[in-house]
Amino acid sequence: MDISSYQAFLAVAEHTSFSLAAEKLHLTQPAISKRIAQLEASLGVTLFDRLGRRVCLTTAGRALQPVAERILNDVRETRQVIANLSTEISGTLSIVTSHHIGLRRLPPILKDYIRRYPAVRLDLAFMDSEQACHAVERGEYELGIVTLPLRPMAALSATALWNDPLVIAVATDHPLAGKTTVTLEKLGQHPAILPAIGTYTRTIIEATILQHQGVLDVILETNYLETLRTMVAIGLGWSALPRKMMGGDVVEVAVHGLAIQRTLGVVQHQKRTLSHAAEALLNVLKGDGVG
């Protein structure tokens, strides 16, 4: 079995592009094309329809995709079981996290981890928490350190690490700045800047606010909390941000009866055998988590 051909197949299927798949796998485009051609020849079917610069899965390709994912997951599982026969904590640890957690929570934790386990090489990726959970679900990463899903995902187990209170944030010269407390009705009279619809954080914010206040005037959406903070600081509107991000040119406004909180934690695939390196990071994370 040529595992590299299945890797190439899944990369092209994900990106609908031979060139993007080549970038992901650090190969040349001809090398990707050769692997796909070999796989198609061995199976006797066409897996992709070539539509100019883009490609799409054929019926055979769509049928092969979940099988190929299982094959690669089984290969990873086999390698991990064998690697775990050794007690050494080393090798590559693939983890995925959100930009906010990567900037605000992980640096001292990873510094401590690498100090303890210098033989481990970190493969760290950044994406929205929703995408990160699905990537762990597909077996692309061992651990995801994310805003935890609002509802359990069948394939994943989740461990809460940090409670992350969100507060209403405004610029220091915003009309609401300096108020002892404001009502939700008053807050709703001002434009808002929020994460995109469908994200865990946006759902948490709206579930709390919209039950008391009607439709909000959302003038800008972005999934990067650092960008949200910057837009708040220049006076474009208010947002709900982690309390840890307050200070300087952004201040908290107390809103009567409003309490918003999300939970940050780690997710892993329930059926995946974790490497010693992943187990060690879990122990470091649990030691840092403050509930």
159-188: average pLDDT: 92
Higher pLDDT, 237 or 272: 237
Residue 198's Cβ-side half-sphere holds a number of Cα atoms within 13 Å equal to 4
Angstrom distance (rounded) from CA 79 to CA 56: 31
Residues 54-67: tens digit of each pLDDT: 789 999 999 999 99
Angstrom distance (rounded) from CA 241 to CA 164: 9
Task: Work out the pLDDT band at 129, boundaries 50, 70, 90.
Answer: very high
In this structure, what are the phi and psi dihedrals at residue 16, rounded to the nearest 5 degrees? 50, 40
Residue 34's Cβ-side half-sphere holds a number of Cα atoms within 13 Å equal to 7
84-109: average pLDDT: 88
Q: What is the Cα Rg of the chain in Å?
A: 23
**Quick count: other Cβ atoms within 10 Å of Cβ 195?**
24
Burial class of residue 32, CB neighbours in 10 A (0-12, 13-18, 19+): buried
pLDDT of the residue at 118: 93
The reported pTM is 0.71
Instruction: Decide: 32 and 21 in contact? Cβ < 8 Å.
Output: yes
**Quick count: other Cβ atoms within 10 Å of Cβ 284?**
15
Domain annotation for the chain: domains and CATH numbers: 3-72 (1.10.10.10), 91-162+264-288 (3.40.190.10), 165-262 (3.40.190.10)
Task: Work out the pLDDT band at 176, boundaries 50, 70, 90.
Answer: very high
Report the sign of the C-alpha dihedral through residues 214, 215, 218, 219, in that order: negative
**Quick count: other Cβ atoms within 10 Å of Cβ 67?**
10
In this structure, what are the phi and psi dihedrals at residue 250, rounded to the nearest 5 degrees? -130, 130
Task: Work out the pLDDT band at 50, boundaries 50, 70, 90.
Answer: confident
Is the pLDDT at 268 greater than 70? The verdict is: yes
Is the pLDDT at 213 greater than 90? The verdict is: no
255-272: average pLDDT: 91
Task: Work out the pLDDT band at 86, boundaries 50, 70, 90.
Answer: low
Amino acid 100 reads H
Is the pLDDT at 189 greater than 80? The verdict is: yes
Residues 190-209: tens digit of each pLDDT: 999 999 888 888 888 888 78
Instruction: Decide: 128 and 195 in contact? Cβ < 8 Å.
Output: no
Angstrom distance (rounded) from CA 244 to CA 264: 13
Is the pLDDT at 184 greater than 80? The verdict is: yes
Task: Work out the pLDDT band at 272, boundaries 50, 70, 90.
Answer: confident
272-287: average pLDDT: 90
- Residue 251 three-state SS: strand
Residues 3-44: tens digit of each pLDDT: 899 999 999 998 889 989 998 898 999 999 999 999 999 999
Which tokens in the block code for residue 177? 């700045």
Instruction: Decide: 178 and 203 in contact? Cβ < 8 Å.
Output: no
Higher pLDDT, 265 or 70: 265
For all residues of the chain together, what is the average pLDDT? 89
Which tokens in the block code for residue 206? 């709206």
Spatial neighbors of 166 by CB under 8 A, at least 6 apart, are 201, 204, 205, 240, 241, 242, 243, 260, 261, 262
Task: Work out the pLDDT band at 212, boundaries 50, 70, 90.
Answer: low
Place of tokens 């994406």: 127
Helices (H), 84-128: 99-104, 106-116
pLDDT of the residue at 192: 93
- Residue 266 three-state SS: strand
Is the pLDDT at 289 greater than 70? The verdict is: no
pLDDT of the residue at 145: 97
Q: What's the angle, vertex CA 232, arms to CA 228 and CA 236, rounded to 5?
A: 110
- Residue 286 three-state SS: helix
Which tokens in the block code for residue 164? 């992350």
In this structure, what are the phi and psi dihedrals at residue 231, rounded to the nearest 5 degrees? -65, -35
Is the pLDDT at 291 greater than 50? The verdict is: no
